[in-house]
Amino acid sequence: MQRFVIPFSLSAAAMLGSILPAPAAELDATRPLQAVPFQDVSIDSPFWNPRLEAHAQSTVEANLYQCEITGRIQNFAVAAGKAEGKHQGFLFNDSDVYKVIEGIAYTLAGRRDKHLEKRADEIIELIEAAQQPDGYLNTYYTLVEPQARWRNIAHGHELYCAGHLMEAAVAYYQATGKRRLLEVACRLADHIDATFGPGKKVDTSGHEEIELALVKLYRATQQPRYLELARFFIDVRGRADLRPLFGEYAQDHLPVREQTDVVGHAVRAMYLFCGMIDVASATADQSLLANLERIWQDITERKMYVTGGIGSSGSNEGFTRPYDLPNDAAYAETCAAIGLALWNHRMFLLSGDGKYADVLERAVYNGLLSGVSLSGDRFFYTNPLASRGQHERVPWFACACCPSNVVRYVPSIGERAYAVGRDGVWTVLYMGSTAQVQLGQRQIELVQETNYPWDGGITLAVNPQPEGEFALYLRIPAWCEEPFHLAVNGERIEPPPVERGYVALRRHWKRGDVVRLDLPMPVRRVYADPQVRANVGRVALARGPIVYCLEQADHPEGVRRLALPRDAALEAVYEAELLQGVVVIRGEAVALTGRSDEGEPQVEAVPFQAIPYCTWANRGRGEMVVWLPESPELAELPGESGIRVGELLVHGSHCNPTDTLEALADGVLPASSADHGLPRMTWWDHRGTREWVAYRFARPRTVSKCAVYWFDDTGRGACRIPRSWRLLWKDGDAWRPVELKPDAAYGIAADRFNSVEFKPVTTRELRLEVELQPEYSGGILEWQVE
């Protein structure tokens, strides 16, 4: 059994809470690898086949159906004058239709479906008809605010929608050879180029996407102006000397070449970094890559979940401070995991470094696939790492970016299987497949057979035409720390040294050569950096690239009462009839059954079963945890509500779903009462009511002083410092007010801690009770108890 520490690539610098200067750049814009295109890879994988089948039969259909009944497709008909009506939905809804068409394109590349292609062609005809004579295309602004075209760049999503149209157009052209949508995209790109640029409108996208899409359009058409426009949008971002800035939320606070830490909205950040890499690789602009490695370190060492989820906060759908990784309140948007996968694939292609492919793999097999049900027709928007049973996937969302992002990513998974460089072929994600690879003048067929990720055995047949010498680079994932085995044509060989996550087999290859790679997959105990307070004293389980969780479907009495001792024996077992066939982890845990009057835990031994995190919530609602306490002192009794922070159980009368009770005891000191850059607890949207929060201690404690830092967003929201507050302590089953010391008072000052001393009490629980101001809500940034 192996023990690992995460965040993912933890370094000594991260343990000290800092990041060292990035090493000399390994990213080389002048010598990128090329992904083997999706249309040249045919998948035949026990893991991916049922998911691709569900995608073709359910995910595409579910997205098309929802786009129809919610008016997204109808908007194009109305804008084209082919139907009566008004615009329906959000101003960015066009993007969902474009992403569905992109997903259809990848699906058609794998299996040409005439009926599905006909439906796509009909939608494309409507899109073309809705385009204005000058090339402009956006149904919201055409139908609702025609006078406001290009006036709300920060929040209007016009460039974002245009980018998704361009991606769809390129994919549909590559999959079908049809140019109709590609010509629509070019006319829109020409219109944008006539509107934006030096000497024209100087601005950038509020929601990044146009940048990477313009590079795709450039590569498909070889029109240099599209590449130059992409570079323009990137170069003017963060340039306060040229334009008003959108701020950190949109990564528009500094020029991109000066940004060193990830901030703001997680999806926007990932799309920006993808665009920077694409422009750099197309222009050999090495300056765009200088800080991306440091940003990557910031994310993977300090701001990424073990599942590959990113963007812990719901308040900004993005990043906060380092190591702020709550489990129950994790936002971890499905789109953000997709964005992380897209970016790390690009980072790998520019470097040939397996550490980026490792993050790609982590995101895909965990935090990304958890966003869609095994049936393919229900979706998660957020992906928490713990649940009390309130979470379940749904068919659609009013803001449907995640389902439509899933519909385009899953069928394109073949493009993440292989890459080709100047001297050879690289494996990226292992999966059963057949690929046609062009290496110079040589055509190479690769046939891979494997039951990955359930089994580490991989067989790769290499069939070059003509035969000759080249390198085959095999990825050795970072999770594989035990000796692996390698054979060629049935003969065991001593593996070459692992360099940057790869072994290179350089030899004269001929048709029929077969390589066998065996990667051992023991169960691993994973530990978080101790600065992730939510996971102190807790362990997660992993095997191969798969992260595991426990859910109530296997433990009817609940999973939050369980603890996994450090010496527990664990075994991996394949269950063919469970969740479409998965490897589960089994062992013996201890269950908390009660506590003595002194707070001592009372336990019993119970069997447990862990399932892959990506498959949770496919058997109904119920409790779920990824991080298990190793001591029953951190476990919860059935019926207990709240959030565990170390040995504290924090609970309250109400907490806004996008905020977190963990903020009360996370030890992060605010800059002011209006500090939006760190986690918070608010009672929003309760107004003018009596509310409370409480700390329940594992054992009785004697307390005599506390301090509270109020949240107040005057000028931005409706949270104010409460009208009044008081402290109560639990005496047996009764709540009693504390007795304040002389001259002590309950303070209601902003921008500082309000301390109060009282006569010592010995208790298992302390409650802070507030009276909110009439018509206002309130919140707390930090509550300290001595």
Return the active site residues: 317, 401
Q: Is 281 helix (H, G, I), strand (E, B) or coil?
A: helix
Q: State whether residue 2 is helix, strand or coil.
A: strand
A 10 A CB-CB count for 607 gives 10
80: number of CA atoms within 13 Å, CB side? Answer: 16
Cα separation, 186 vs 166, in Å, equals: 8
Residue among 180, 192, 34 at smallest CA distance from 105? 180
First to last CA, the chain: 40
DSSP state of 740: B
Q: Which residue has the tokens 């057979």?
A: 449
717-753 per-residue burial string, b: 16 or more CB within 10 A, e: under 16: bebbbbeebebbbbeeeeeeebeeeeeeeeebeeeeb
Tokens at residue 293, please? 């490695």
- CA–CA dist 170, 106 (Å, integer): 11
Question: Do you find a cis peptide bond into 722, omega within 30 degrees of 0?
Answer: no
- In angstroms, rounded to a whole number, what is the distance separating the alpha carbons of residues 496 and 417? 22
Q: Is 85:393 a contact under the CB 8 Å cutoff? A: no
Cα atoms in the 13 Å half-sphere on the side-chain side of 479: 26
Q: Which residue from 242, 237, 240, 186 is spatially nearest to 213, judged by alpha carbons?
A: 186
Alpha-carbon span 32 to 86, nearest angstrom: 47
Angle 341-367-639 from CA coordinates, rounded to 5°: 165
266-283 vs 292-302: helix axis angle to the nearest 10? Answer: 150
**Letter for the amino acid at 125?**
E
Decide if 383 contacts 371 (C-beta within 8 A).
yes
Contact 544, 479 (CB under 8 A): yes
